[in-house]
């Protein structure tokens, strides 16, 4: 086929973000039969992360655009970042339109998506939009007082984006149905591809160790991910303190803008049962193997139609999960279907502390069985092997349909 594929990616390696890995996997797979160019900003995620020298890709071209970036979780800064990246991408298409056969966009909502679709429509280039979260609703949930205003001004932008995209990738059936009904677009235009983790990384680590690496005598509860303002880590800490587990520990692994203040809080309280660990690149399987139970807090309404990237990573590590999430969310559904953990209402400190007390005395064999359940489910539904092929097929179909 050997077509010219242009990829817009809001994040890209060396950023240790799942969405960056998804774009890289897609670029690598498409480059086997096509000429691929990736447009992305300079690396900034997560906030405060120190980036090593970037490895130059040989199979495809990476173009770092000098667009505005905002790594901190600030609404005005994030909107400006989306607008700036979108304008830079639009200009790139303007300058290179004759050498672009198809566009795949895994980029910031809403402005970056808008400019991508606008340029594609102007030059009759097929475009696939990958929707990671539903906007403006996700923004409205954070600012309920501005809900009517945000929806009035921003919802038409998303309707334009999805209505004029050649096809759309949604990350859950719930998201697909919601987008089709609220954006008034043909449901057949939307393909469901669940976000994946590379299962081979976890499988290879598991094969390399001769014994279970989790703590033998001290039950270890662990959160691994971004330690930012919306992660709810202070909620985990307060619940663990309330649980008052004399023989347990809580590990917060990762980096982010809230890490320092949370470390200070724990230090002032004199708690030696709560630890903060860094997560070097490539060490997620090794670190999660030292846990007995993984923790997944999501604030009310924050992930009703999407599955956080931490979930498949936890499941591939064969660890049971305590999730504090909306009970009607896809995250809750997956954990229940897989029988790999417990689902609690979000932001309920009392329920979480009680569950920590209960789980601390569950036998290792029972915990391991639940972990195996999660692993089997994730291999079938959340693996790179199964979902990368679906995503690539969705993009290449737009090329075939244009021939």
Compute the distance between CA of residue 17 and CA of residue 200 in angstroms, rounded to an integer.
17
Closest CA to 297 of 377, 227, 366, 245: 227
Residue 247 token pair: 């023989």
The class that CATH gives domain 199-381 is: alpha beta
DSSP string, 34-98: SEEEEEEE----STTPPP-PPPPPSSSEEEEE------S--HHHHHHHHHHHHHHHHHHHHHHGG
Q: Would you say the CATH fold of 199-381 matches that of 4-196+383-402?
A: yes
Do residues 100 and 8 touch, judged by C-beta distance below 8 A?
no
Paired with 183 in beta bridges are: none
Domain ranges of the chain: 4-196+383-402, 199-381
Question: Would you give per-residue pLDDT tens digits along the chain (403 residues)?
Answer: 689 999 999 999 999 888 999 999 999 999 999 999 999 999 998 877 778 767 778 899 999 999 999 998 888 999 999 999 999 999 999 999 999 999 999 999 999 999 999 999 999 999 999 999 899 988 877 777 777 888 888 999 999 999 999 999 999 888 999 999 999 999 999 999 999 989 999 999 988 885 555 445 679 999 999 887 777 899 999 999 999 998 899 999 998 888 999 999 999 998 899 999 999 878 999 999 999 999 999 888 766 656 788 899 999 999 999 999 989 888 999 999 999 999 999 999 999 999 999 999 999 999 999 999 999 999 999 999 999 999 999 999 876 555 4
* Per-residue confidence (pLDDT) for residue 229, from 0 to 100: 76
Instruction: Measure the CA–CA gap between 240 and 362, rounded to whole angstroms.
Output: 17
Q: Which residues is 143 bridged to in the sheet?
A: none
- Nearest one of 72, 68, 47 to 112, comparing CA atoms: 68
Q: Which CATH superfamily is domain 4-196+383-402 in?
A: Glycogen Phosphorylase B; (3.40.50.2000)
Integer Cα distance of 290 and 198 in angstroms: 19
User: What is the rounded CA–CA span in Å between residue 163 and residue 214?
Assistant: 49
308's tokens = 């956080």
| CA separation for the pair 152, 162 (Å, rounded) | 17
> What stretches of 133-194 adopt beta strand conformation (E)?
167-170, 190-192
């Amino acid at each position: 086929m050997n077509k010219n594929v242009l990829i817009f990616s809001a994040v890209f390696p060396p950023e240790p973000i799942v969405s960056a890995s998804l774009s890289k996997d897609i670029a690598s797979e498409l480059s086997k039969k096509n000429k691929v160019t990736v447009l992305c900003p300079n690396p900034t995620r997560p906030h405060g992360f120190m980036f090593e020298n970037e490895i130059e890709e040989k199979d495809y071209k990476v173009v770092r655009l000098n667009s505005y970036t905002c790594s901190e979780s600030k609404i005005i800064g994030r909107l400006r970042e989306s607008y700036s990246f979108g304008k830079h991408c639009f200009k790139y298409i303007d300058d290179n339109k004759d050498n672009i056969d198809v566009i795949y966009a895994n980029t910031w909502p809403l402005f970056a998506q808008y400019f991508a679709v606008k340029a594609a429509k102007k030059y009759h280039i097929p475009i696939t939009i990958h929707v990671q979260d539903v906007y403006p609703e996700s923004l409205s949930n954070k600012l309920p007082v501005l809900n009517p205003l945000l929806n009035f001004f921003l919802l038409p932008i998303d309707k334009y984006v999805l209505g004029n995209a050649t096809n759309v990738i949604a990350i859950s059936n719930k998201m697909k149905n919601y987008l089709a009904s609220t954006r008034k677009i043909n449901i057949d235009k939307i393909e469901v591809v669940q976000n994946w983790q590379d299962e081979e990384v976890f499988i290879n680590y598991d094969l390399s160790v001769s014994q279970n690496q989790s703590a033998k005598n001290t039950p270890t509860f662990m959160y691994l991910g971004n330690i930012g303002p919306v992660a709810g880590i202070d909620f985990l800490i307060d619940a663990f303190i309330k649980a008052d587990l004399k023989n347990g520990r809580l590990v917060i692994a990762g980096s982010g803008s809230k890490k320092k203040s949370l470390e200070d809080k724990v230090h002032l309280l004199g708690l030696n049962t709560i630890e903060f660990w860094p997560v070097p690149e490539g060490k997620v399987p090794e670190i999660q193997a030292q846990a007995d139970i993984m923790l997944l807090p999501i604030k009310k309404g924050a992930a009703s139609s999407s599955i956080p990237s931490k979930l498949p990573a936890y499941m591939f590590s064969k660890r049971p999960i305590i999730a504090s999430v909306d009970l009607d969310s896809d995250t809750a559904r997956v954990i229940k279907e897989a029988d790999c953990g417990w689902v609690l209402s979000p932001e309920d400190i009392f329920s979480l502390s009680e569950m920590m007390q209960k789980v601390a005395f569950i036998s290792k064999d029972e915990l391991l069985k639940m972990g195996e359940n999660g692993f089997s489910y994730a291999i079938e539904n959340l693996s790179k092997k199964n979902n990368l092929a679906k995503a690539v097929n969705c993009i290449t179909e737009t090329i075939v349909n244009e021939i």
